[in-house]
């Protein structure tokens, strides 16, 4: 053992007890169907290393599916020394300093374009970041006087986003995706990167002029923040992201000459 080893906690410290939920494509109608369904759930739990396990909840989901909650003991250990943490590469700044860095670093307003792309109609995430009412006690990007925010809303085609970005001279494009079935969010991010690579020449905007491809930022609850390079975007934000964190990243990425100014919050 190379580091602090821990087990899950359930009833007593280190007992390994865990609870998980899942759905199986089995009916839960007749008495026999229920018995088969619960047996299938216990078989799956055993193969996942939960021994012993018990079904604490089962409910039919339509005629051919059953939802389960299973409780059991896991024998696996977690080595805390092997946990990898993605450190934030920029300080989270107060609003006044964000405005100051935009004004001194760009010499003009920062233009931020936001949308949900494709068939995604869930605007709660993008609105929480952009709208002045904000999220988690923080004002959205519309609150920053040195930013001009254009919120295109839901179900925006990627080609339209590129066209609008050129028209607005966007410094950054923010895309929120909540729909994740069959990895739709990953396909959406790749389509976004491809469209901007082929539709616009040059690199990201910086300095006092708007030129080339804007900064591409995507976010959503199922994104892995470490996949930005693989998906072809500049930054990925996951669940729990606040507007001020996004604003701080934008000034960090778009005003490099002043990136070291100020202290983190």
Q: Which of 37, 55, 82 is the last residue of a domain?
A: 82
234 and 106 assigned to the same domain: yes
Q: Give me the catalytic one of 47, 59, 133, 235.
A: 133
In contact, 143 and 96? CB cutoff 8 Å: no
148 in a domain, yes or no? yes
We report the CATH number of the domain holding residue 149 as 3.40.50.280
Cα angle for residues 145, 201, 218 (degrees, 5° grid)? 50
178 in a domain, yes or no? yes
Q: What six digits make up the tokens of 216?
A: 């591409």
74 and 140 assigned to the same domain: no
Q: Is the pLDDT of residue 7 over 80?
A: yes
Listed residue (228, 231, 190, 235) closest to 214, CA to CA: 235
Looking only at the bridges linking them, the beta strands covering 17-24 and 235-237 are unpaired
CA 172 vs. chain centroid, Å, equals 17
23 in a domain, yes or no? yes
Q: How confident is the model at residue 258 (pLDDT cuts 50, 70, 90)?
A: very low
126 and 217 assigned to the same domain: yes
pLDDT computed for residue 207 by the predictor = 44
117 and 60 assigned to the same domain: no
Q: Is the pLDDT of residue 112 over 60?
A: yes
Domain coverage including residue 25: 5-82
What share of the chain has pLDDT > 90, as a percent?
A: 60
Q: How confident is the model at residue 264 (pLDDT cuts 50, 70, 90)?
A: very low
Q: Which of 82, 117, 134 is the last residue of a domain?
A: 82
146 and 15 assigned to the same domain: no
219-241: average pLDDT: 87
Q: How confident is the model at residue 118 (pLDDT cuts 50, 70, 90)?
A: confident
89 in a domain, yes or no? no
pTM of this prediction exceeds 0.85: no
98-106: average pLDDT: 95
Burial per residue of 110-142, b for 16 or more beta-carbon CB atoms within 10 angstroms, e otherwise: bbbbbbbbbebeebebbbbbbbeebbeebbbbb
Neighbouring C-beta atoms of residue 71, cutoff 10 Å: 17
Residue listed under structure tokens 């602090």: 4
pLDDT computed for residue 211 by the predictor = 53
pLDDT computed for residue 257 by the predictor = 56
pLDDT computed for residue 202 by the predictor = 44
The total number of structural domains that make up the chain: 2
90 in a domain, yes or no? no
119 and 244 assigned to the same domain: yes
56 and 113 assigned to the same domain: no
Cα angle for residues 182, 184, 190 (degrees, 5° grid)? 130
Q: Is 235 a catalytic residue?
A: no
We report the CATH number of the domain holding residue 39 as 3.30.30.60
The per-residue pLDDT for range 15-47, each reduced to its tens digit, is 999 999 999 999 999 999 999 999 999 999 999
CA 74 – CA 153 distance, rounded (Å): 44
pLDDT computed for residue 73 by the predictor = 95
Q: Is the pLDDT of residue 201 over 60?
A: no
pLDDT computed for residue 123 by the predictor = 83
54 and 108 assigned to the same domain: no
124 and 64 assigned to the same domain: no
253-264: average pLDDT: 58
pLDDT computed for residue 186 by the predictor = 81
Q: Which of 82, 105, 135 is the last residue of a domain?
A: 82
pLDDT computed for residue 1 by the predictor = 46
pLDDT computed for residue 262 by the predictor = 42
Q: How far is CA 72 from CA 38, 56, 177, 265, in A?
A: 14, 10, 34, 42
pLDDT computed for residue 185 by the predictor = 75
100 in a domain, yes or no? yes
76 and 133 assigned to the same domain: no
51 and 121 assigned to the same domain: no
53 in a domain, yes or no? yes
In contact, 192 and 117? CB cutoff 8 Å: yes
pLDDT computed for residue 15 by the predictor = 93
The per-residue pLDDT for range 42-81, each reduced to its tens digit, is 999 999 999 999 999 999 999 999 999 999 999 889 999 8
Which residues pair with residue 150 across a beta bridge?
Answer: 113
What share of the chain has pLDDT > 70, as a percent?
A: 88
110 and 211 assigned to the same domain: yes
The per-residue pLDDT for range 122-180, each reduced to its tens digit, is 788 889 999 999 888 899 999 999 999 999 998 889 999 999 999 999 999 999 887 66
Looking only at the bridges linking them, the beta strands covering 78-79 and 110-115 are unpaired
195 in a domain, yes or no? yes
């Amino acid at each position: 053992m190379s580091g602090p080893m821990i087990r899950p906690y359930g009833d007593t410290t280190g007992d390994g007890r865990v609870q998980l939920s899942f759905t199986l494509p089995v009916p839960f109608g007749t008495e026999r169907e229920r018995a088969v369904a619960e047996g299938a759930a216990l078989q799956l739990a055993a193969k996942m290393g939960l021994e012993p396990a018990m079904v604490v909840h089962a409910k039919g989901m339509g005629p051919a599916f059953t939802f389960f909650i299973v409780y059991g003991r896991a024998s696996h250990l977690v080595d805390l020394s092997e946990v990898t943490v993605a450190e934030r590469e920029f300080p989270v700044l107060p609003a006044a300093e964000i405005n100051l860095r935009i004004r001194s670093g760009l010499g003009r307003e920062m233009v931020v374009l936001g949308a949900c792309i494709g068939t995604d109609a869930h605007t709660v995430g993008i609105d929480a970041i952009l709208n002045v009412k904000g999220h988690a006690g923080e004002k959205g990007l519309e609150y920053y006087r040195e930013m001009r925010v254009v919120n295109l809303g839901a179900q925006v085609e990627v080609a339209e986003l590129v066209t609008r970005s050129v028209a607005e001279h966007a410094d950054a494009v923010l895309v929120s995706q909540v729909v994740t079935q069959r990895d739709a969010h990953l396909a959406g991010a790749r389509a976004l990167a491809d469209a901007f690579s082929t539709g616009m020449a040059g690199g990201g905007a910086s300095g006092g002029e708007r030129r080339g491809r804007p900064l591409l930022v995507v976010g959503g609850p199922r994104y892995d923040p470490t996949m930005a390079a693989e998906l072809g975007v500049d930054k990925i934000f996951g669940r729990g992201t606040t507007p001020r964190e996004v604003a701080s990243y934008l000034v960090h990425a778009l005003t490099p000459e002043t990136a070291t100014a100020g202290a983190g919050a």
